[in-house]
Amino acid sequence: MKEAQATGPAGDDPVSAGHGPTWASPEFGAIYEEHSRQIFYLALRFLGDPAQAEDATHDVFLKAYRKLGEFRGDSAMRTWLYRIAINHCKNLRQTWYQRNMVSNADDSIWESAVSRTETPLRVLEIKELGERIQKTLDALPEEYRLLLLLVADEQLSYEEMAALTGQSSDAIRGKLHRARKSFVLQFQKPA
Amino acid sequence: MNPKSPKFQHQQKQETTEQAAALQTTHEFASPEEILRRDAAQVEVPAALAHRVAESIAKEPKPSRSWWRKLFSRGEANG
């Protein structure tokens, strides 16, 4: 799969020339600058498609802008954006699955999976890391994939992850343990 | 040395293998989240996306300003 790229060769248009956008709301521009990487990464690895991830990130920030009046500041801005992103990406996946009638793998496979989680994950070539991670995540149940992507963001606490996924912190801890095991098992499979 | 000789070809093959081995460095990650963090750091948000979002927002009506007050009053209280 083609990985997301930063920029193309410099040209006359402001994007390829490397100029930043002019924001109608500079405050919102600052929010975009601070959080777009994590939101894009979540969408990219959750959906597994760079073009879809780009569209999803655009839609997430547009929705966020429209709903800014509803943001009460009870949670961190990052958590609020994640909530919008998770709902949006889940809806996209659901629509895609309904259209393509693809059934998920039996989750019980992962529940009973035994792996050596203490073994370090070894990678020879960092440039191939993205593709290998995507293959690994694609093979996991959706819930595990989401939990791993959220826990990778060091800004999020277990309590915030619990709130985002509608579960208790204890449930999150248990599921994360199984998600890590499943990831390691899948990652170590020969290509 | 004759470039077609088996000895020369063997030597050349050995050098190529050694060069390839030198280029390959094993990277170790202690946990899935560590490997995902590395992956996230490698992924670049497409530059055109910021322009696209900015253009879409420019077409939108301005949102309620109440949240700005909350955000800034919070910052002042914390700061």
ipTM of the complex: 0.79
Architecture of the domain whose range is A23-103? Orthogonal Bundle (1.10)
How far apart, in whole angstroms, are the C-alpha atoms of residue A143 and residue A176?
A: 10
Instruction: Kindly report the CATH number that applies to the domain delimited by A105-191.
Output: 1.10.10.10
Q: Are A43 and A56 in contact (CB under 8 A)?
A: yes
Q: DSSP strand E in B2-74: where?
A: 27-29
Task: For residue A98, give every residue at least 6 positions away whose Cβ sits within 8 Å of its Cβ, in sequence order, or none.
Answer: none
Closest residue in chain A to residue B59, using alpha carbons only: A24
Verdict on whether the full-model pTM lies above 0.80 = no
Weakest-pLDDT range from A94-98, A149-153, A179-183, B18-22: B18-22
Closest chain A residue by Cα to residue B61? A66
CB spacing of A14 vs B51 below 8 angstroms: yes
pLDDT in tens, B20-77: 444 456 778 899 999 999 999 999 999 999 999 999 999 998 776 655 555 655 554 4
Q: Where are the domains of chain A?
A: 23-103, 105-191
DSSP 3-state of B29: strand
Predicted local distance difference test score (pLDDT) of residue B55: 96
Please judge whether A133 and B24 are an interchain contact, meaning their C-beta atoms are less than 8 angstroms apart: no
Apex B58 CA angle, A40 and B61, nearest 5? 110
Provide the CA A106 distance to its chain's centre, in angstroms. Answer: 22
Over residues A156-175, the pLDDT tens digits come to 999 999 999 999 999 999 99
